Amino acid sequence: MSELRYDGRVAVVTGAGHGLGRQHALELAARGAKVVVNDLGGDRTGSGASSGPAQQVVDEIVKNGGEAVANPDNVATVEGAEAIVRTALDAFGKVDIVVNNAGILRDKSFKNMTPEEFDAVIAVHLRGSFLVSSAAWSHLRDQGFGRIVNTSSPAGLFGNFGQANYATAKMGLVGFTKTLAHEGAKYGIKANAIAPVAWTRMTEDLLPADFAGALGVDRVTPLVAYLAHEDNQASGEVYTVGGGRIARIIVAEGPGWVQKDGFDVEDVAANWEQINAQDPFTVPGNVGDQMLPLIQALQ
């Protein structure tokens, strides 16, 4: 297979000063993309700020012969998100690829989670992905091409103790991604999400130390790069990726139980097994698809 290249493409990668985002930026740049390396430069909880991490990644890209510019703005503010996209326009004249990757953790059991801890995590992951995509959207639409890769998480898709804030944001990104896929379809914009697992500062005390090597960030980035490539025709999908494995994650619906003359609570109890049946399942592509079995049953 011929090498997949990004010559002539401009990519924005948020949170690219460390971990996964850094690897995404290095890889896209090594394959010819011009890259905006965004990073606020705070700690794992989002406290503090520094232009150092983004600049270090830019220096590395330039040393390797690539093109990149640093941006230290906050994805969670309107001004920050607009400045990130403006950095791409000013330096490279356009934007083609948006990788929403920036993230923080404020883990706490639900009993102890404060509204501030909830809001802070939603702001970076969910609002930040919205704001940066929003700032880029009209440019992607006008040029009839765009690739957006959002960063979800298995913790959001399946739930995880101590992460009500993070899981809410990460599952929210699934609905966000699917909606952008619908709205971007006629403008050549493909939006997808990844649910990665990798050894980074975010996870180094959560994952078994033995797995550090096997869970390298380089085992996530190839999927992100593929989803960002013009060859990729998938849109509205979510893929789990890490440690050398990639799998599509689906939002599926079971066959259900229908009683079109109405039912009472005892009927629900009596039919609980069929209501919970998983086979045969369907994977609706949109809300219309999801309504079809009901409409057919009512006809």
Rule CB under 6 A: say whether 124 interacts with ligand NAD: yes
Rule CB under 6 A: say whether 103 interacts with ligand NAD: yes
Fill in the per-residue mask, 239 to 278: x = in contact with ligand NAD (CB under 6 A), - = not in contact.
----------------------------------------
Nearest-10 Cα torsion for 106, 110, 111, 117:
30
The rounded distance, in Å, linking the Cα atoms of 21 and 33 is 15
Going 96 to 134 to 129 to 14, the CA torsion angle's sign is positive
| Region for residue 188 given its phi and psi (left: phi exceeds 0; alpha: psi -120 to 50; beta: otherwise) | left
- Taking the mean position of all CA atoms in its chain, how far away is CA 293? 30
Q: Which residue is nearest to ligand NAD (CB)?
A: 19
Shortest Å, Cβ 100 to ligand NAD: 8
Binds ligand NAD by CB under 6 A, chosen from 27, 39, 117, 237: 39
Rule CB under 6 A: say whether 172 interacts with ligand NAD: no
Residues 6 or more apart whose CB falls under 8 angstroms from that of 256 comprise 274, 275, 277, 293
The rounded distance, in Å, linking the Cα atoms of 106 and 162 is 9
Of 5-13, 141-149, 190-198, 270-278, which part binds ligand NAD (CB under 6 A)? 190-198
Of 26-34, 62-70, 141-149, 191-199, which part binds ligand NAD (CB under 6 A)? 191-199
Kindly tell me the burial class for residue 34, based on how many C-beta atoms sit within 10 Å of its own C-beta (0-12, 13-18, 19 or more): buried
Binds ligand NAD by CB under 6 A, chosen from 9, 12, 13, 21: 21
Shortest Å, Cβ 114 to ligand NAD: 19
In the complex with ligand NAD, the residue whose CB is nearer, 102 or 180, is: 102
Q: Please report, as residue ranges, which positions from 132 to 161 form the binding site for ligand NAD (by CB under 6 A).
A: 151, 153
Of 121-129, 139-147, 244-252, 280-288, which part binds ligand NAD (CB under 6 A)? 121-129
Q: Please report, as residue ranges, which positions from 53 to 72 form the binding site for ligand NAD (by CB under 6 A).
A: 53
Rule CB under 6 A: say whether 189 interacts with ligand NAD: no
In the complex with ligand NAD, the residue whose CB is nearer, 60 or 253, is: 60
| Region for residue 133 given its phi and psi (left: phi exceeds 0; alpha: psi -120 to 50; beta: otherwise) | alpha
In the complex with ligand NAD, the residue whose CB is nearer, 192 or 200, is: 200
**What are the tokens at 144?**
């009839």
Closest among 124, 119, 106 to 202, alpha carbons compared: 106
**What positions carry a catalytic annotation?**
166
Letter string b/e over residues 83-94, b meaning 16 or more CB atoms within 10 A of that residue's CB: bbbebbeebbeb
**Residue ranges in contact with ligand NAD by CB under 6 A:** 14-15, 17-21, 38-42, 44, 46, 53, 74-76, 101-104, 124-125, 128, 151, 153, 196-198, 200-203
